[in-house]
Structure 1
């Protein structure tokens, strides 16, 4: 009888103190347009700051969106600039033209844009910066263009290529210092171009879906890399490199091409995919499924998410979308699912179960006292 009493008590606690709400389904996103028409995002940090570029006259300028303020980062004296990455300190890197018309990797901090130089040639471009201030990209040398890693102490270092390659570029670096990008494997133009990972002074080939073409676009702090790979004639598919495996993420509708641009530490992936009308749609990939981001926003807003470029650890997404004839950078903020009240039938079933338990207990007590 004591055990029966304990069970009854636990049942009461489960029903009366347990969750009285049920989740309403997949997460949704609120939209904040950023900057001007035509702006394209590149990266979002964990503070929700966004870097990218926008049309400025006949050229483009890098921008920083911070504290609800849109900042034109200018150039290095030339006509154009583009942001490539931003870290959690709000430091932006990218590429900008100088007075001579050369394109140079830049770092923007404390209101100032500075030239990072090259590997000895004319041009360079920075793609990403981690939270330790390490910067990666591609730069010209006297013998070609190669992936680089830059630190203030060591300057710009040539990361080389995959065996036999004559060109490489770095796209991302995590906080551990692991770099990913792409490299030719052999002489141009017939050599394949493969995604690489660079760690501990060595560059490793990550392979591709069919041996021909791939690139590593982003790496998270767990060492998971996303990008895309050729998956057939004139078709590329978003891919994930993790635990030594290359996974084809497919497309939203099972045909056409898809590209993965970023992955956060939770393993959520964003990018773009073709759909039936051959247009592009931004996607969120999680738990083995690719989801059209346009289905996760308020349909009454009128926006269509055409591509998602970056996602942070707070699940905020920097995207590009269109509304009628207006296309620009959008900040997507996750909205907590609205809870649904527990159904009356669920509560009634619980109360009937308690009544049944109590009734059985009273019956046995009565029968026992008569013996």
Structure 2
């Protein structure tokens, strides 16, 4: 099965991978409550939608590439990570014309996680001591340092150039941070480690924090305008993680009770709400757009999986491709365009979904694609409709024809 989690070498990998892998295994039948449309493609015929020009991106020698949903901005700007035959990660920026290497902080590798419309990038790079440090790239690579410990990682950068992620403290804990362009601010924790995963333009940060002894973890909200301690968003059941926040302060995330099923939530106006499933036992939210539309993934009652869009009332399946029985939503833009992947009879294909056109195999919408090129998975989508896809040869940018 596929996963919507972009794995990293970070200290968050274990908890995030475990929970999201569980939710996207999507093998549990029944047991989940639901208030959605469980079957079939969304409204609209299969195969419609824009046509695209395809532009290879990534560094020379790329054989595999990684871009998170935060790694694209309007105007064809993309930040990601190229891996060559040696498997070593190298951060790059595609500036609308060419892919350029961001270099490193003195070590062997670098990893780009997010970019804003100015082309400013955050992620992490190995230092000369070969430990990861968060960076800001604004034409030059800047080491953001730590909170007194040895390592740090940047995850998200806002349109205003503010960054969140995590950094090690002098006591050895990992704490979420806020970078305001000058210094790292320690956002604290609930007694254990904490990690910042989402940020909006008004200065609110979301993520999750462990309690004492890292025995449990809850989603948090931090408002940099007022400061103060992390706000514990609680959980409908057990542990929780906030993955995204929009400028209205609406938060999306997931929760999990022990080794049980993963569920999806929306938090707004002081209330966390379980948004249900498409009929199966598991669901996860992966992103929320400015209008409050949530993209995520859910099990069906028969154990297969579908991406979904939740509009505040109804959870709608994005469907599946002909002869396939599985789809994943990875990202959503301001217009509600969802991208991800779906299975055909034999392989994984990149897809897009809108309410108008339903699910579309992006391989069928590319103009003059190079012979043998397969668009495997759509990883990120900009508000202007540009899409980043993983291909069988690396990475590509799809630009809609006007």
Kindly tell me: are residues 141 and 204 of structure 1, through their superposed partners in 2, closer, same or farther at Cα, counting changes over 3 Å? same
User: Is 1:145 aligned to 2:171, yes or no?
Assistant: no
TM-score (norm 2): 0.64
In 2, the alpha carbon distance for the partners of 1:260 and 1:289 equals 14
Structure 1 match to 2:234: 207
SS in 1 for 2:67: strand
Residue 76 (structure 1) shift: 3.1
Structure 2 match to 1:197: 221
Structure 1 residues 39-58: Cα deviation after superposition (integer angstroms, max 9, x where no partner): 34311435564444354332
Equivalent of residue 256 in structure 2, options 211, 226, 230: 230
In 2, the alpha carbon distance for the partners of 1:94 and 1:69 equals 20
SS in 2 for 1:188: helix
In structure 1, runs of 5+ residues without a counterpart are 1-23, 339-371
Higher normalized contact order (CA 8 Å, seq sep 6+, divided by chain length): 2
In 2, the alpha carbon distance for the partners of 1:236 and 1:98 equals 36
Equivalent of residue 80 in structure 1, options 109, 116, 128: 109
Report how many aligned residue pairs link the two structures. 302
User: Is 1:259 aligned to 2:280, yes or no?
Assistant: no
User: Is 1:289 aligned to 2:314, yes or no?
Assistant: yes
Structure 1 residues 212-257: Cα deviation after superposition (integer angstroms, max 9, x where no partner): 21011110000000111115743111211011221112233422x3
Structure 2 match to 1:108: 137
In structure 2, runs of 5+ residues without a counterpart are 1-41, 359-402
Structure 1 residues 137-192: Cα deviation after superposition (integer angstroms, max 9, x where no partner): 10001112111101223x11111113xx121111111111011111112x2142x2
In 1, the alpha carbon distance for the partners of 2:319 and 2:107 equals 37
Residue 115 (structure 1) shift: 1.7
Kept in 2: contact 1:195–1:208 (CA 8 A): yes
Equivalent of residue 158 in structure 2, options 119, 123, 130: 130
In 1, the alpha carbon distance for the partners of 2:75 and 2:317 equals 25
Structure 2 match to 1:169: 195
Kept in 2: contact 1:182–1:194 (CA 8 A): yes
Structure 2 match to 1:242: 268
Answer with 200-209 or 57-66: which moved more.
Answer: 57-66
In 1, the alpha carbon distance for the partners of 2:239 and 2:198 equals 18
The structure whose residues are more often helix, as a share, is 1
In 2, the alpha carbon distance for the partners of 1:80 and 1:303 equals 37
In 1, the alpha carbon distance for the partners of 2:63 and 2:277 equals 28
In 2, the alpha carbon distance for the partners of 1:61 and 1:31 equals 31
Kept in 2: contact 1:179–1:198 (CA 8 A): yes
Kindly tell me: are residues 314 and 73 of structure 1, through their superposed partners in 2, closer, same or farther at Cα, counting changes over 3 Å? farther
TM-score (norm 1): 0.69
In 2, the alpha carbon distance for the partners of 1:321 and 1:40 equals 18
Q: Which has the larger radius of gyration?
A: 1
User: Is 1:60 aligned to 2:124, yes or no?
Assistant: no
Structure 2 match to 1:309: 330
Structure 1 residues 89-133: Cα deviation after superposition (integer angstroms, max 9, x where no partner): 2322112222321011112223x3322111111110111111211
